[in-house]
Amino acid sequence: MSEKAYKLATIEAKTERSLIKIPVRVKGAEPVVFGGKEIVVVAGPCSVETPEIMLETALAIKKAGAKIIRAGAFKPRSSPYAFQGLGVEGLRRLAKIREKTGLPFITEVMDTRDVELVSEVADVVQIGARNMQNFSLLKAVGRKGTPVLLKRGLANTIEEWLMSAEYILANGNPNVILCERGIRTFERATRNTLDLNAVPVAKKLTHLPVAVDPSHGTGHTYLVHPMALAAVACGADSIMVEVHPDPSKATSDGQQTQNFAQFAAMMKEIKAVAEAIGRTI
């Protein structure tokens, strides 16, 4: 048994890296696996929006090479007056997009009372940065088999991040994907400080796949492209970015969201970087 506090997440617990397979729910849909040779690109609006915007976005990101759509049905916001998401209606819209396009989806769960519902509908359940140490929520998603994308907290160490993953693993769910999304430092030029050191460090310490979210990590659209390339170069297994047909009209986080042309251009360069290090998109 490992001497580390995280017994199941440690690299010492497995002889090979974990592959997190996303169940195929739509006939003919492409299987998605986190942690293998292929780098999984996740993209979509910050929040679930109109059915028309969701379908337009899904088709655009799929054409460019993304394998999963992301959008928040339940939104944790710093201000109680900011848009909080569409809730159950948002889940319905995401499920319809999956049926029409074959794209699985990632969406956040914020409350233990919603875990059963979100886990039944979503392909991957996200635990956001603000809930990284919500231990009741971690235990609840741990009791389900649905894959979990666990974002690093705003001011948490890598060890604390792995300990949160341990809560999920220890409660029976082995399907955990870690996600670096920037941490809070004294720097104010960016929304957060995207800690790309965390990628190789986490991959040295754990067998779990590691994703990077340069949208929340930087808070500025012009930085998403270069930091996504850097994330791929340093070993990320997945990239998660925000995409919208017209970011200026996005319900939330438009300032860090790419339009379709920007996303397509980024994807071409990501493929080149992936090929250079022996991986694929």
Q: Is residue 5 part of a domain?
A: no
What is the rounded average pLDDT for all residues in the chain? 95
pTM: 0.95
Q: Is residue 33 part of a domain?
A: yes
Q: Is residue 186 part of a domain?
A: yes
Other CB atoms within 10 Å distance of the CB of residue 207: 19
Q: Is residue 269 part of a domain?
A: yes
Q: pLDDT band for position 79 (50/70/90)?
A: low
Q: Is residue 138 part of a domain?
A: yes
Q: Is residue 248 part of a domain?
A: yes
Q: Is residue 183 part of a domain?
A: yes
Q: Which residues contact 83 (CB under 8 A, 6 or more apart)?
A: 47, 75, 77, 251, 252
- What distance lies between CA 67 and its chain's CA centroid? 12
Other CB atoms within 10 Å distance of the CB of residue 260: 18
pLDDT tens digit string along 11-39? 999 989 999 999 999 988 889 999 999 99
Number of domains in the chain: 1
pLDDT tens digit string along 133-165? 999 999 999 999 999 999 999 999 999 999 999
Q: Is residue 133 part of a domain?
A: yes
| Domain CATH code at residue 25 | 3.20.20.70
Q: Which residues contact 207 (CB under 8 A, 6 or more apart)?
A: 9, 10, 11, 13, 14, 16, 17, 18
The residue range of the domain holding 264 is 11-276
Q: Is 217 exposed, middle or buried (0-12, 13-18, 19+ CB in 10 A)?
A: buried
